[in-house]
Structures are given as structure tokens and as C-alpha cells.
Amino acid sequence: MGFYSIKRRNEIINFLYDSGITEKYKLNGLTVSLNKNVLVPHPATLNLIEQASRLIYKNRQIRVIADLGTGSGIIALTLAKRFPRRKFLATDISKDALKIAKNNAKENNIKNVKFLINTDNIWLNEVKNKKIDLIVSNPAFVSIKEYNSNKFRKNYPESLKEPVAAIVTKDKSGLTPYLEIFNNSLPLKVRYLLLQCNSDTLDRLFRRLKKEFKLTFKFKIIFSDGKKRIIFARRG
């Protein structure tokens, strides 16, 4: 993959998810195997990675970074390659996704990522005894109601081929993963969070986060391709 766009992503989705094969792609300086068990990285995720890179580069105190719901490993592995002295934790609820992510680490000779399985569907439970400075994550982001709506089917036909567990949340609002991540990050004293969001529900999520966590975090919205896509939170 050279230039990476939504169009290119949709081509890969149509090819990979229909054929069921595992295929290697060049993306973000890595060789990344993808198959039907993982999300095909979204262009907005590459922006998320750039935002995280800038933050890590500027901030020496960020030593441990967690990528929650790593899928193919694209976030953790790109950052781990760029910052070989930092430690990375990459988690997923899907064994099949972790298998791909671990293979991708091996293929790219990346050794500073520890992979952890989440066994109870509660975001952050698999890292609750760890010290984490920064969370960079693209969690599941579509409520089951939105997923089943005609609007979603019309606007995002390719998404219907994606692994359901990768994109659909267990609640009606689609906000639970984000609220859980914030709530469970409090006792870990996580200093920064960069979360990729659903542009259709970001405003609602932003209001809710500001209301519930304003005493702990300062918030900012980051755009990707003209859409509100990323929420940045900083303690203090």
C-alpha cells in the first residue's frame, strides 16, 4: 500500500473478507498481514498514530503506552518501531486477532510490545496492575442499534463485512467502551488518552466525557479528513 485512502481500504475489505485469505500489505513502514479476523486499518487510524508519535516524541515521561483492541497491531507496532526504547502493551479480546498481531511483530522484528488477551470484555481489565502513561486506542465504536439501521447499511456497506466484535459495542449508545476506558484508567493514573471515535457520535461522547471527567482531564477534539475523529485527554 502506497497512498492509503478510504477507496483503497474498501478494495482491501472486499478482497480479503470475501476470500477469507491472509494477505501481506506494506503500511506505515511495516509489513502487515491482514485477514478476516482483524479490522483493515482505517486512514483515520494513521492520523491517530501520527498524533501519538508527536506526543511521545515531545514527552520523555511517556514510557509505557497501551494500545487497547490492537486488531492487526497497526497502532502498537508502528509506534513501537518508531520508539524502540518505550514499552508497549497491546491487548485484544480476540485470540485470532492477537495471533495476527503477534505474527506482525515477528515479521517486522519488533520486540518491545507485550501482547495481552482480554477475557471478560471489560476494557482495561487485562492491564489493571500495570503502570500506563498513554492509551492510544481505536475501540469498538458502533452501537448495535446504529449497526442495524438502514442509514448505516447505506452509508457503510463495507462495514457489514468487518468482524462484528471489532466494531459493534454491547450497549445502545455505542459509548460504553470509551466511558469504560476513562473510568478504568483513573486508578492507573494514566496521563494521556488518544481515542479514535465514531464521527457521528463524537459530539455526544465529548459532552459526556467533559461532564463526567472534567475534574481529572482536559479534553480536545482532533479532526481527520475534515471530520471530528479523535478525542485527546490530558490529566491536570
Please say which residue, 123 or 213, places its beta carbon nearer to ligand SAM.
123
| From 71, 143, 174, 209, residue interacting with ligand SAM (rule: CB under 6 A) | 71
Q: Three-state SS for 226?
A: coil
* β strands within the chain, DSSP E: 23-27, 30-34, 64-68, 87-92, 113-117, 134-137, 192-196, 217-224, 227-235
Distance of CA 118 to the CA centre of its chain: 15
Residue 187: CB atoms within 10 A of its CB come to 9
| From 16, 39, 175, 194, residue interacting with ligand SAM (rule: CB under 6 A) | 39
Please say which residue, 33 or 70, places its beta carbon nearer to ligand SAM.
70
Question: Distances in Å between the alpha carbon of 203 and those of 4, 55, 91, 110, 233?
Answer: 27, 23, 27, 36, 15
| From 62, 113, 139, 233, residue interacting with ligand SAM (rule: CB under 6 A) | 139
Distance CA 205, CA 108 (A): 36
Please say which residue, 127 or 233, places its beta carbon nearer to ligand SAM.
127
Q: Does 13 bind ligand SAM (CB under 6 A)?
A: no
**Least distance (Å) between residue 13 CB and ligand SAM:** 12
| From 165, 175, 209, 230, residue interacting with ligand SAM (rule: CB under 6 A) | 165
Please say which residue, 55 or 97, places its beta carbon nearer to ligand SAM.
97
Distance CA 98, CA 116 (A): 8
Instruction: Give the containing element (helix H, strand E) for 99.
Output: helix 95-107
Residues in binding contact with ligand SAM, number by CB under 6 A:
24
| From 25, 41, 184, 197, residue interacting with ligand SAM (rule: CB under 6 A) | 41
Distance CA 35, CA 44 (A): 20
| From 33, 35, 78, 118, residue interacting with ligand SAM (rule: CB under 6 A) | 118
Q: Does 16 bind ligand SAM (CB under 6 A)?
A: no
Q: Is 89 exposed, middle or buried (0-12, 13-18, 19+ CB in 10 A)?
A: buried
Q: Does 94 bind ligand SAM (CB under 6 A)?
A: yes
Residues that bind ligand SAM (CB under 6 A): 39, 41, 45, 68-72, 74-75, 91-94, 97, 118, 121, 123, 138-140, 165-167
